[in-house]
Homo-oligomer: A and B are copies of this chain.
Amino acid sequence: MINIGVIGYGYWGPNVARNFQETAGARVVAIGDSDDGALKRASQRHPDSRMVKNYREVLKAPDIDAVAIVTPVSTHFEMAMEALDNGKHIFIEKPFTASSPQAQALIELADRRGLKIMVDHTFLFTGAVQKMKELIGEGVLGDLYYFDSIRVNLGLIQKDVNVVWDLAPHDLSIMDHLIAKDPVAVMATGVAHFHNDLEDVAYITVYFPDNVIAHLNVNWLSPVKIRTTLIGGQKKMLVWNDLVSDEKIRVYDKGVEGLEGVQQESLEAAHGRRVSYRSGDMWAPKVNQVEALKGEAAYFVDCLEKNLTPENDGRAGLRVVRMLEAIVHSLKQGGALVRI
């Protein structure tokens, strides 16, 4: 039985606590939050857990094996360091840390102490992302051409982070998971309409090896909510619309292929180009609709029990933080190309 302490019972914490409580092999023994109202709500839903006002008591409690840190990113490093120091595994909200040196320090400490870090890249546990991973992994799409994501809505303009740190971690973690290559460089443009230096609209390009390009469009000022990703491959292409309840993923038997082995001269004479086109059926595979966090909680418990390294470990969290840093660096330099 893995005993879990949850720190932070605001917007997302209740979901984390509930899912760990409902996971076989785990129980939530303590919930920490400095807000009395939050603790009162938590106690109603978790009558058997201790309610703790000072999060330090959770970090140090001898009966706790792992701590779920569900607090603002600015607090992550300090809490996580203390948790690891006290021999606790950690499950931590995304983005992992406020800077890459912080992430590296945590990874090193965890490695030294033989502890696990899982960064809550929840989307990786949705049926949609798992299906896309499967399609790419099995070669259904062929070599990837591009990954193009739009995540826009009328969002809360925040005063401490820009739209990139707020929205892009989702897309960056999904992109990192699906493309599974190390990015080469990043470029970003954007504008801040309300707070100096905090962009509310941003456009991000990420270059990968083998001519793979990724693009992220994040915007807090859109009148409509859009959550759409296009992924183009040599063999097939897909559209993921996360806002529809059915048929979230549509796979198109459409594409363009270079005709590399073909005698070039004759083709150009004939058609003026060296590519061929396909246009066939569309197919919407059934997508698992289980709550993503439920699967992620079970996976965390499984990794602890079997001593496995999670896919969404500290290193995955670090990769996302590094891209966030590079994006902000590019924005601050007027859109300069930033190598990673």
Query: Which B residues touch A220, using CB under 8 A?
Result: 256
A292 at the interface (CB under 8 A from B): no
Given A193-B145, A217-B217, verify A281-B277 contact (CB < 8 Å): no
Which of A195, A224, A252 has most B Cβ within 10 Å? A224
Q: Do B258 and A238 have beta carbons less than 8 Å apart?
A: no
Q: Nearest B residue to A189 by beta-carbon distance?
A: B205
Q: Do B217 and A274 have beta carbons less than 8 Å apart?
A: no
Write out, one digit per residue, whether chain A residues 232-246 have a CB within 8 A of any chain B CB (1) or not (0): 100011110001011
Within the complex, the shortest CB–CB distance from A128 to chain B, in Å, comes to: 14
Q: Do A279 and B275 have beta carbons less than 8 Å apart?
A: no
List A residues 163-200 near B (Cβ within 8 Å). Answer: 187, 189-195, 200
Within the complex, the shortest CB–CB distance from A225 to chain B, in Å, comes to: 8
List A residues 188-233 near B (Cβ within 8 Å). Answer: 189-195, 200-201, 203, 205, 207, 211-213, 215, 217, 219-225, 230, 232
Within the complex, the shortest CB–CB distance from A237 to chain B, in Å, comes to: 4
Q: Do B252 and A223 have beta carbons less than 8 Å apart?
A: yes
Binds B, one of A8-16, A92-100, A109-117, A152-160: A152-160
From B243, B254, B286, A223 is in contact (CB under 8 Å) with B254
**7 A-B residue contacts at CB 8 Å?**
A145-B193, A146-B191, A159-B273, A187-B335, A194-B275, A220-B256, A224-B230
Cα–Cα distance between A213 and B188 once the two chains are bound (Å):
13
Query: Which B residues touch A191, using CB under 8 A?
Result: 145-146, 207, 211-213
A62 at the interface (CB under 8 A from B): no
Which of A205, A211, A255 has most B Cβ within 10 Å? A205
Given A159-B274, A203-B203, A334-B337, verify A283-B284 contact (CB < 8 Å): yes
A47 at the interface (CB under 8 A from B): yes
Q: Do B258 and A194 have beta carbons less than 8 Å apart?
A: yes
Number of interface residues of A (CB under 8 A): 73
A282 at the interface (CB under 8 A from B): yes
A268 at the interface (CB under 8 A from B): yes
Q: Nearest B residue to A230 by beta-carbon distance?
A: B222
Q: Do A152 and B221 have beta carbons less than 8 Å apart?
A: no
Cα–Cα distance between A89 and B329 once the two chains are bound (Å):
51
Cα–Cα distance between A178 and B82 once the two chains are bound (Å):
55
Q: Do A159 and B268 have beta carbons less than 8 Å apart?
A: yes
Within the complex, the shortest CB–CB distance from A193 to chain B, in Å, comes to: 5
Q: Do B280 and A252 have beta carbons less than 8 Å apart?
A: no
Query: Which B residues touch A246, using CB under 8 A?
Result: 224-225, 282
Query: Which B residues touch A273, using CB under 8 A?
Result: 156-159
Q: Do A157 and B230 have beta carbons less than 8 Å apart?
A: no
Query: Which B residues touch A245, using CB under 8 A?
Result: 243
Q: Do A222 and B217 have beta carbons less than 8 Å apart?
A: no
Query: Which B residues touch A222, using CB under 8 A?
Result: 230, 232, 237
Within the complex, the shortest CB–CB distance from A333 to chain B, in Å, comes to: 9
From B146, B156, B275, A219 is in contact (CB under 8 Å) with B146
